Each structure stands twice: as structure tokens, then as C-alpha cells.
Amino acid sequence: MTTTGPHGAAPRRRRGRPGYDQAAILRTAVELFNRKGYDATSMGDLARELGLTKPAIYHHVTSKEQLLGQALDDALDELTAVVTEAAEERAGRTAYERLREVVRHSVEVLVAHQPSVTLLLRVRGNSGVELEALDRRRRLDERLAALVADAAAEGALRADLPPPLVSRLLFGMVNSLVEWYRADGTYDPATVADAIATIAFDGLRPRGDQAS
């Protein structure tokens, strides 16, 4: 990213507009991809939003698909780290405790990386980049399902619900965050993480218990 760069074509002298770097273009692109959908967003839309011409974008970026791939990698790297961390904490912690931690850390990642995670959760598999992302995501979901199964095997989860179904619904609730969460101060991430854990593990009904 300094002097010459790998292409020999890196800008040595600055001329004209101050210019954007790749990261700034990526941020704007991901924001547009989420607002309109990836396919409905044209490189012309992105150029207008940036105040550049369409060809100018290709000075910083090789393709529209590359922008998508970088966002998906960001989301997947972060989510993978959450799951891997929990797996490495095996010593001295129950699966239930690790599952609760995964839920909490997942919420933190969803909030901190909401744009790229939102994009990930909407991928349909229309290209090589998308199919690769779907595959990585599927492997993540399998590791989460295994963690839920371990917690159930410990007896920490009620036995009358199939663990794979529980995993789907629990992380379905977590993932639904990206559809409505706004970092506008209404709820901070810890409040949301607590609410999800409370609903999922303890239930909405007041404790002390009664039946309908």
C-alpha cells in the first residue's frame, strides 16, 4: 500500500481529487449492496455515491465481485473466530457455558460488523464467490449445531427438543438482528445479547412458574 505497490502502477504522485482508498470504497459498496441488494446495485450507483466516475472505481478495485468477496470474507473470518475461540475454551467449561459465550460474542460481531454479516446472510449462491461463502457458512453452522448437541448431551438443555432444530432457531434469532439493529443508542449490544440469552435459555415467562 506504499510507494510502488505490486503492479508497478501504484500512484507515486498525487494529482487531482484526494481520492479514496480501497477500504473506503468497500465500505460504501457494502452499504449500497445492503440497501438495494447486490444485483440491483450497479457500479454506476457506487460511482455516483462516491462522487467518482465508474471507470475511476476500477482504479482501486478489480471487479464488483471482488468487493462482495472481501465483505463476505470479513464476516466469515469474524464469525469463525467466535466459534473457534469457544472450541479452544473446552478446558474447565461446560458446553452450555461455551454456547452462551458464543451467543454473546456472535451478537457483538453482528453489531460491530453488521454490514458484512448482513451481506453474508443474504447470499444466494449466484457466483463462485457466493458459493464459497455459503460453503464456509454451512461449516460454521455445523460447528454451532455440534455445540448445541454437546450442551443437550450434558443435560443442560431440555430433552424434548431436537438439538439441530434448537440450533437453527437459536441462531435464527441471533441472526435476525441484522434486519433491524441500528447502532443509534436504542439498545446497546450487551442489552441485546442479554435479551437473546434470557429468552432462549430462560424463556419469556416470569420464573416462579405457572401454567396456562
Partner DNA sequence: CCTACCGATCGGTAGG
Binding residues vs DNA (CB under 7 A): 9, 11, 14-20, 41-45, 52-56, 58-59, 62-65
Binds 42, which of DNA, its own copies, none (CB < 5 to 8 A, cut-off by type)?
A: DNA
Rank residues 126 and 176 by Cβ distance to DNA and give the closer one: 126
Binds 88, which of DNA, its own copies, none (CB < 5 to 8 A, cut-off by type)?
A: none
Q: Which sign, positive or negative, has the C-alpha torsion 31, 35, 39, 44?
A: negative
Rank residues 11 and 128 by Cβ distance to its own copies and give the closer one: 128
b/e 47-67 (16+ beta carbons within 10 angstroms → b):
beebebeeebbeebbeebeeb
**Distance from C-alpha of 170 to C-alpha of 99, rounded to nearest angstrom:** 10
For the CB of residue 205, give the shortest distance to its own copies in the complex, in Å: 5
For the CB of residue 7, give the shortest distance to DNA in the complex, in Å: 11
Q: What does the CA dihedral 194, 200, 201, 205 come to, rounded to 10 degrees?
A: 90
- Given the rule CB under 8 A, which residues bind its own copies? 35-40, 96-97, 100, 122, 124, 126, 155-162, 165-166, 168-173, 175-177, 179-180, 187, 191-192, 195-196, 198-212
Angle at 182 between CA 191 and CA 76, to 5 degrees: 85
- Residue 2 CB neighbours (<10 A): 5
Binds 173, which of DNA, its own copies, none (CB < 5 to 8 A, cut-off by type)?
A: its own copies
